Structure 1
Amino acid sequence: MGAGASASRSSTTLTPSEASAAENAFHIFNSIHSAMRLWGSSLNHNGLSAFLATVPEGTILYHGSSHPEPPTTADWLAFEIEHGEWFARAIMVPPPQTAQDANPLLQHRWHRAQRQPSRPGTSSEPQGHGYLHLYRATKPLRLLYLDGMSAGNTNMGTLDMQDYLLRGNRSAELWEEYERAQSLCDLVTPWGLQGLIRTEAGFEIVKCDFSDSMEFLAANQRPEDGDSGLEGYLDVQMFENMRSLSQRYHGIGANRVALDFSSMVSPMFYPVNLTNPDPNKQEPHLRRLTSVTDQELRAIKARVEEVVRDRVDGKQASVDWQGVTDMIVTRYADRLWDVAETVDSLRVLQGVVNGLLNSHIDYSVEDEGYERAITNCAKHYVQFSPVTTEQDHLISVAIGSVTQAICATLFDVRKVILDDADGASDETLAAAKGLLKSLNSKLRWSRWKECTSCSSDEVCFVPMWPVGDKDSFDRPNCRNVTTIQKGWIDNRYWEPRFPLHGPEKPDDGSKKEGEPKDL
């Protein structure tokens, strides 16, 4: 059972099923298509899938710190320079308390720093400078990738896989990031993994042991206020951060992460209740583990461990299921949107649909209702993909269910528009477009929210925790250096808002509209 299903059942052992994969097919498809891609991970931010991941030997990674020494406990590594730079600051300065200065990235840095454990041999006194650490992987790093915006400290479902499923802790505190990182490392290290990959405004690694398979290259001291090197930088820093992130919308780049799609484990493969309990607060299609029982969660967690232990050596073949979804999206996305939203000519609609379907029709064979052609169309992109694991089989079912929906709808449209080929009418066009819009509402492909064009001094902006506004989630838009932070405070997308820090103040009701709320 998927969304809306009853959580009560009399099953003994919870197992994945083809029926669940088919029922959740659209979500599974989007999970695969968006994996390690910042654009889709931001829009489908409640990730419900886990994959084995490998960062290859030689990859350069970054760590921002208030200390020049490497961490001695579980800590974070960034894939991008700008992401590491953001944390390369002194940590003892409290965050601002006014709405106009309460930058979400500054608040994020403060919250993480507040939980930072002390390091042996270092001073707890305020540091005058931050440091950007550079590391090189000396061996392939084996990690667990959690999809969606899994590094987002929200109550919206971004932490469900970590807290509910992996940690078994439904009451975990949002800001206990070091505790969360350490408990996850305690879990995955015995499985043979070295950490996790998560996503916020950038991809990050939770590295369990910085002395394991890592070469410490440098700790470059950062300039502080008044130092040379900051001239003009603070004016453009936020925009430049977003520019660097936008370059990872469609992939991490340079083969820096290889996902084992044949290792995918997801609650969406199981007959569990994934209903979002608060559909009015966010998009109701964004699913949650809130209603999944503890027993069910333990069964799925056991499956994650089983798959990881079986495939952690990386010797088994993996099917590139993301490549399969790419082929399907490339084939259909622009055409489906075009004919559903912009085409106003029945003749053009007929031509596009015939172009999509003719290759699956053998006109020398009688095929009543085009059942044979629909089957050919639906299996076209999955029939040659090898199925080697149970996960492969479930993924194949899910992708096949999506292509079945696409092909069946297109043949329904074909029937409508060809039956009225001689007597074209507005009603015919409207009926066909209605079928296509209904299909698109189920597919919910993230490609359709991309900006059509931005100039070189703009980026297409979508909310990425901890930054962003509600309007940009509904309709991502082009932003420049002066507009990049529009709506981040007064129309913030992510919940909850950051609590204020500093001296306690009585709640006299004097907070201005849009000021961050206390937790």
Structure 2
Amino acid sequence: MKALGALSSLLVAGPPLLALGAQIPFYAIADQAPDTARVLEERWNFDLAPSPNATDNYIFETVSSLLQQWPNTRYRNGHNIVPVTIPVNTLLYHGTWHKEVPSGPEWVATDPEHSYLFCRAHEAGKGCWHLTLAVTRPLNVLYFDGSSAAKMQGCMDSQDLIAWGHVERKRIFDEWNRIHDLCAWGKKYNLDGYMRMEPNFEIMLCDFTEGVEVVSFLNLVGRHVERPLPPLPRNVTEPQDDEHLLAIHRVIESGHTHNHFPGETRAQLDLTRLVSFYDTDMFPNLIESRYNQERFFHRPASIGEDGRQRLLQRLDEVLTTSQPSGSGVDWTSLIRVVKHRYADRLEILRYMLNKTENTEQTLRDAHVYTQSILPQYLRNGVRPDNSSSTSVQWASPIFEECASTHTRTVRGTLYPKLTYSERLILSSVDGTLREICRVLVGIWADGVLKLELTEATALDPGAVVADWSARINDLTQWLDWSEWVKCRPECGFEETCYIPTWPWLRGAEWPKQPGKPPREPPRDPGAVRAEDLTLKWDRMCGWVKDFTLDDEEDDWSRPQPKCVRRIFPYNDL
């Protein structure tokens, strides 16, 4: 079994055979060493499941989820760093309490509902100030995926590894130093800023005089508050609380417009220069930290100093101007094709096989439905050689055709043009398709043996349905696509489906010193200390090591969708 796991890792995760990341087309290595020949012989073996250490499923899904609110809210700890371009005439917004265009790095929102939440009147009757900027040249920005602006442990790992070389829990709130140190690091690469996400997307803009111009700087009617960003009140009784609730829900709604593909379209991804912490060749130190861990708890923090040096070296490569142009493959569309073909169908098949009544009819319906997914791969004449055999290996040509058709040209004539990042994405697409087709073609072939070549009296429909159901359940769990994460039952018209997100998590309290009134966010570097925070906030951020999550706090570590009202009366987020 261990040998199979290692072989699967070679096939699916694909460690380099000649050079770092230089994964070689399958057909190009037939005359290589015996071990390589064995790999070629075994690659369409139905018994060969992915290695526990394989990351193709993670790379595929995280790349598929880039710049989308929903999947990056569910899995907060980002694992990708991608150069993006902010196009000309994109509007950016900054809310503040005084009329002063920032003279140094500051935060801007991509939607005004988000920035308006920071438009605070700290003196009654004075109003607040809301700055609107327009991009005058393409902005060169680095995007951190996940909920990379959430002040929670794990969310900012990739930023802090770049800025400070390590991750410190007590510096989660040290945003002032974080933005200054990142901007200082990125200056040599002419980076204009960094894109992150919390309830909506934002940009840490390094210079308000470069690449942007002021469209307006308006004194708006601002809500008079004494603290920076209070949480959602549990009991709403005063009109001003209703007003604040509306402002919060407008932010959530604006974020939800980017929930699913195509996501935030005002940032244009360059996938030819993607860096992924799920790249096991680049960051082998992270393999052990992920072993037997749910994806909710995967973090780049344990990368080690050697891993950080590889990260900085790789970022130096992708951020220099002498980059190859890439193959021209539209990776986003290729991934969408795979998802469009299989997401709904796998969900339906899983539903069919999980039914418990009339198992014989369920078995036949599921087999016919599975065959209907595969007709373009069912070669005429490919049939079992022996009616008494229980092996489905005779269907390997169909397995191969199903798994390799979408990338055959990329593996062939286009392969020499691929960048390192493209080869990583290609490997993830190949590995994902291989597992989908291994399971689907395996179920279909098993059905041919059992339903067409076996006497009905010898068939145990319940056992076969249970077996197929387990295979599909394992597959969908392995893929873990965000398309399957929904509110069940569906929300009513007066509701919206919501995944708990920073800073509106159940029971969260804005950090403050016990016994003292709320205060302005300190601008003095290092003024935010972990010991200033309440125990509940400590627990939410995961700073109490011996703390066991109960059902309520589980929302914080494994956020699940739920229906919340979108018109009055609002319920607790």
SS in 2 for 1:57: coil
SS in 1 for 2:451: coil
Matches within 5 A, 1:289-300: 289-300=300-311
1:169 equivalent to 2:160? Answer no
- Cα distance change, pair 225–84 in 1 and its aligned pair in 2 (3 A): closer
SS in 1 for 2:216: strand
State the aligned residue count. Answer: 440
Q: Deviations over 1:44-82 (max 9, x none)?
A: 221111111011001111111112221111111111111
Q: Deviations over 1:323-357 (max 9, x none)?
A: 22211111111211221234431122112210112
Letter in 1 for 2:372: G
Q: Which residue of the other structure, out of 561, 566, 571, is the alignment partner of 1:476?
A: 561
Matches within 5 A, 1:23-172: 23-90=54-121, 128-155=126-153, 157-171=154-168
- Cα distance change, pair 485–369 in 1 and its aligned pair in 2 (3 A): farther
Match of 2:446 in 1: 416
SS in 2 for 1:62: strand
Q: Higher mean Cα deviation, 430-439 or 263-272? A: 263-272
Q: Deviations over 1:364-415 (max 9, x none)?
A: 4579522222122112333345552111112101110011011001122113
Q: Higher mean Cα deviation, 172-181 or 247-256? A: 247-256
Whole-Å separation in 2 of the counterparts to 1:58 and 1:255 = 13
SS in 1 for 2:194: strand
Q: Deviations over 1:476-500 (max 9, x none)?
A: 12211457653x5xxxxxxxxxxxx
Letter in 2 for 1:479: V
Higher helix share: 2
Answer with 1 or 2: which has the greater Rg: 2
Once the two structures are TM-superposed, the CA of residue 237 in structure 1 deviates from its matched residue by: 2.5
Q: Higher mean Cα deviation, 51-60 or 239-248? A: 239-248
- Cα distance change, pair 80–214 in 1 and its aligned pair in 2 (3 A): same
Question: Does 1 or 2 have the higher relative contact order (CA < 8 Å, sep 6+)?
Answer: 1
Whole-Å separation in 1 of the counterparts to 2:159 and 2:314 = 15
Match of 1:444 in 2: 480
Q: Deviations over 1:89-143 (max 9, x none)?
A: 1469xxxxxxxxxxxxxxxxxxxxxxxxxxxxxxxxx994321111100111111
Q: Does the CA-based 8 Å contact 1:350-1:417 persist in structure 2? A: yes
Q: Which residue of the other structure, out of 370, 375, 396, is the alignment partner of 2:400?
A: 375
- Cα distance change, pair 265–484 in 1 and its aligned pair in 2 (3 A): farther
Q: Does the CA-based 8 Å contact 1:276-1:286 persist in structure 2? A: no
Q: Does the CA-based 8 Å contact 1:22-1:397 persist in structure 2? A: no
SS in 2 for 1:291: helix
Once the two structures are TM-superposed, the CA of residue 450 in structure 1 deviates from its matched residue by: 2.3
Match of 1:181 in 2: 179
Whole-Å separation in 1 of the counterparts to 2:76 and 2:322 = 26
Q: Higher mean Cα deviation, 290-299 or 138-147? A: 290-299
Matches within 5 A, 1:327-476: 327-343=337-353, 344=355, 345-364=362-381, 369-385=394-410, 386-387=414-415, 388-421=418-451, 423=456, 425-451=461-487, 453-469=490-506, 470-471=554-555, 473-476=558-561
- The CA RMSD measured in Å over matched residues stands at 3.3
- Cα distance change, pair 226–62 in 1 and its aligned pair in 2 (3 A): closer
Whole-Å separation in 2 of the counterparts to 1:299 and 1:138 = 34
Q: Does the CA-based 8 Å contact 2:22-2:420 persist in structure 1? A: no
Whole-Å separation in 1 of the counterparts to 2:262 and 2:198 = 13
Letter in 2 for 1:27: Y
- Cα distance change, pair 372–127 in 1 and its aligned pair in 2 (3 A): farther
- Cα distance change, pair 316–138 in 1 and its aligned pair in 2 (3 A): farther
Q: Does the CA-based 8 Å contact 1:38-1:251 persist in structure 2? A: no
Q: Does the CA-based 8 Å contact 1:139-1:213 persist in structure 2? A: yes
- Cα distance change, pair 414–251 in 1 and its aligned pair in 2 (3 A): closer
SS in 1 for 2:244: helix
Whole-Å separation in 2 of the counterparts to 1:340 and 1:461 = 24
SS in 1 for 2:83: strand
Q: Does the CA-based 8 Å contact 1:21-1:394 persist in structure 2? A: no
Once the two structures are TM-superposed, the CA of residue 433 in structure 1 deviates from its matched residue by: 0.7
Q: Does the CA-based 8 Å contact 1:55-1:141 persist in structure 2? A: yes
- Cα distance change, pair 77–149 in 1 and its aligned pair in 2 (3 A): same
- Cα distance change, pair 267–284 in 1 and its aligned pair in 2 (3 A): closer
Whole-Å separation in 2 of the counterparts to 1:83 and 1:378 = 43
Q: Does the CA-based 8 Å contact 2:82-2:270 persist in structure 1? A: yes
Whole-Å separation in 2 of the counterparts to 1:21 and 1:143 = 34
SS in 2 for 1:274: helix
Letter in 1 for 2:378: I
Q: Higher mean Cα deviation, 453-462 or 298-307? A: 453-462
Letter in 2 for 1:74: P
Once the two structures are TM-superposed, the CA of residue 253 in structure 1 deviates from its matched residue by: 5.7
TM-score by length of 1: 0.77
- Cα distance change, pair 51–477 in 1 and its aligned pair in 2 (3 A): same
Percent of aligned pairs with the same amino acid: 25
Whole-Å separation in 2 of the counterparts to 1:384 and 1:370 = 23
Matches within 5 A, 1:189-338: 189-225=187-223, 233-251=243-261, 255-271=265-281, 272-274=284-286, 283-284=294-295, 286-310=297-321, 319-338=329-348
Ranges in structure 1 where 5+ consecutive residues have no aligned partner:
6-13, 93-125, 489-519
Match of 1:105 in 2: none
Match of 2:521 in 1: none
Whole-Å separation in 1 of the counterparts to 2:569 and 2:152 = 25
Whole-Å separation in 1 of the counterparts to 2:52 and 2:272 = 15
Q: Higher mean Cα deviation, 323-332 or 245-254? A: 245-254
Letter in 1 for 2:74: L
Once the two structures are TM-superposed, the CA of residue 238 in structure 1 deviates from its matched residue by: 2.5
Whole-Å separation in 1 of the counterparts to 2:223 and 2:105 = 30
Match of 1:111 in 2: none
Q: Higher mean Cα deviation, 241-250 or 174-183? A: 241-250
Whole-Å separation in 1 of the counterparts to 2:175 and 2:347 = 41
Whole-Å separation in 2 of the counterparts to 1:336 and 1:391 = 29
Whole-Å separation in 1 of the counterparts to 2:126 and 2:249 = 26
Q: Does the CA-based 8 Å contact 2:121-2:224 persist in structure 1? A: no
TM-score by length of 2: 0.70
Ranges in structure 2 where 5+ consecutive residues have no aligned partner:
10-18, 25-50, 226-238, 356-361, 385-392, 507-553
Whole-Å separation in 2 of the counterparts to 1:89 and 1:442 = 45
Q: Does the CA-based 8 Å contact 1:45-1:158 persist in structure 2? A: yes
